[in-house]
């Protein structure tokens, strides 16, 4: 009986030691999923913006589309031969501060 009483509370102690690691792991997983989601939205927005500019729409409208899709996004336009390219970057989100996601999409310039 004496050996069993010596282990009393060890589960609570082990749980208290493991809990911060579990919380950190969950936070990193949530951050990774959030970052991946923002990356996909940014890539879609740059593709739409490139198509808008390529068909002759206003550049400001295209940049507003990117900024509306992903908060805090900055975008730029580049013309290369017969292509219109939109390059954008945005913060990854509050879970991973200091990390930025980038996207670039091009469309055939039909507005020339």
Q: Are 54 and 91 in contact (CB under 8 A)?
A: no
Note the pLDDT of residue 17.
85
Q: Long-range contacts: 76-81, Cβ < 8 Å, 24+?
A: 77/53, 79/109, 80/106
22-43 residue pLDDT tens: 999 998 898 889 899 999 999 9
- Residue ranges per domain, the chain? 2-108
pLDDT, tens digit (0-9, with 9 covering 90-100), for 41-99: 999 999 999 999 999 888 899 999 999 999 889 999 999 889 999 999 999 877 777 88
Structure pTM? Answer: 0.77
Which tokens go with 23? 């919380």
Give me the residue label for tokens 């936070």.
27
């Amino acid at each position: 009986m004496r050996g069993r009483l010596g282990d009393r509370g060890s589960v609570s102690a082990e749980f208290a030691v493991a809990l911060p690691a579990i919380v950190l792991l969950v936070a990193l997983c949530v951050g990774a999923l959030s970052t991946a989601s923002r990356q996909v939205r940014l890539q879609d927005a740059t593709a739409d913006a490139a198509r808008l500019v390529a068909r002759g729409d206003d550049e400001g409208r295209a940049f507003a589309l990117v900024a509306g899709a992903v908060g805090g996004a900055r975008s730029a336009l580049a013309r290369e031969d017969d292509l219109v390219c939109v390059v954008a970057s945005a913060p990854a989100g509050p879970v991973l501060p200091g990390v930025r996601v980038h996207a670039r999409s091009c469309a055939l310039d039909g507005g020339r």
